[in-house]
Chains A and B, each alone.
Chain A
């Protein structure tokens, strides 16, 4: 089982560190990261393995959203299946 975490917002020091820190804290293995900074907008998409997650997926999602609010970022944490079903036939 894999999930996609997307982070969008104003660039700042330590965004990647903070998000991957939370992943490591709850045993979500980071598989792939793409990130770009356009002007001063930061956009990151992270693919993580959640099969050995130490908390409920919903709780991780809440944690990410709360962290995003603290840092002024929009963070969406969603099951990979949402994207697969929508974009693959």
Chain B
């Protein structure tokens, strides 16, 4: 039987501590939309997405009301478009427009999958798609793009790193009027996952079924609040409290995912066990680390506390749901986390520290604003560094970095809403151009030889 304490705890989590379902993401395969005629292919893409997801937003809203749990985003991920567009030639931007129109028609706020997987080299369609990303992200509103440039199995495609350094810069330049927002919709991955529900890096992998529902939970505020009740607890007790809280948060994700999949008549995929922050007060991952005992996120001890947090979130969540997937880990986007923004502004949090943090949590250098005069080769070197961490540690890493065109350290970019605002963070001035321009493939590490 339910007791009053449990009921009031749940209500408090939702009302005061920002417990929510961050996203219900419908993954849709577009493999059956491939056609040598690009216009036909785009029509098939539009038709399939709008047919499969026509009830997604309504079902999400119904569940939100019945369970009393806010569901912040309803989104769609699709098969990497480079695979779909390979057969037709022509500018893949038409696909981006079709995705954008489909997203608007069904009312989802973002659609992911304008993507290419080039970890071992470029196949037909990959280069065209990558070169079209800046235009695609500037002429569309809701399309998100990602490119996988490395994996533990294949090593790192350094040519792709170099290209992506330039593409990121171009994305920012083409969207200067929108605070360089184009670059915020582009993620460069190592070890990209096929069932990630979170944007901007979501795509529907080719190994996935035709259509699937994946859920991403959130709740940094709930974890912080739970910890604040035990100021004298030792660190094992802290891990225990996080595990218990994570279990409760994840159970809600499982319930919402199963219910949505039943109502949409689409198989349920995975719950992504992530603590996804927002810029809202009380919804910050950095504040959890500070609650554990750091004066400011980014100082010495940050990596250790984050490792503990990330591990405990997974241990608590594993038992709470039937299948786990996606990125599953604490997110550390700078602009989307009030505590990270403050830490970056104060100078306690640097890009180098963030890089170290990505070795122990999901996912990578995320929503970091850098000076507008950063060279493409420096961006490429940042991508290569981050990909190396992912490759060697057999984990997903990513780079979503925004060059603030025309701005310098001390200024900031402000997008508002869930994307927040980010101060321009300093980078090293010394060049890595010679390394980047060597090109070729960084060989896969020994860890790849598991068979």
Contact = CB atoms under 8 A, between A and B. Distances in A.
Interface in A60-89: 61-62, 74, 76-87, 89
Interface residues of A, number: 25
Interface residues of B, number: 22
A57 B66 contact: yes
A34 interface: yes
A62 B65 contact: yes
Contacts, number: 62
A47 B2 contact: yes
B55 to A, nearest CB: 15
A83 B1 CA distance: 10
Contacts of B252: 82, 85-86
Nearest to B6: A87
Contact of A34 (B4, B66, B248, B254): B4
A83 B255 contact: no
Contacts of A8: 11
A85 to B, nearest CB: 5
Contacts of A47: 2
A48 interface: no
Interface string B1-25: 0101011111100110000000000
A45 B68 CA distance: 15
Of the candidates A6, A82, A83, A87, the one having the most CB atoms from chain B within 10 angstroms of its own CB is A82
A6 B8 contact: yes
Interface of B: 2, 4, 6-11, 14-15, 62, 65-69, 248, 251-252, 254-255, 319
24 contacts: A6-B7, A6-B11, A8-B11, A45-B8, A58-B66, A61-B66, A74-B15, A76-B11, A76-B14, A78-B66, A81-B255, A82-B10, A82-B67, A82-B68, A82-B252, A83-B7, A83-B10, A85-B254, A85-B255, A86-B248, A86-B251, A86-B252, A87-B2, A87-B6
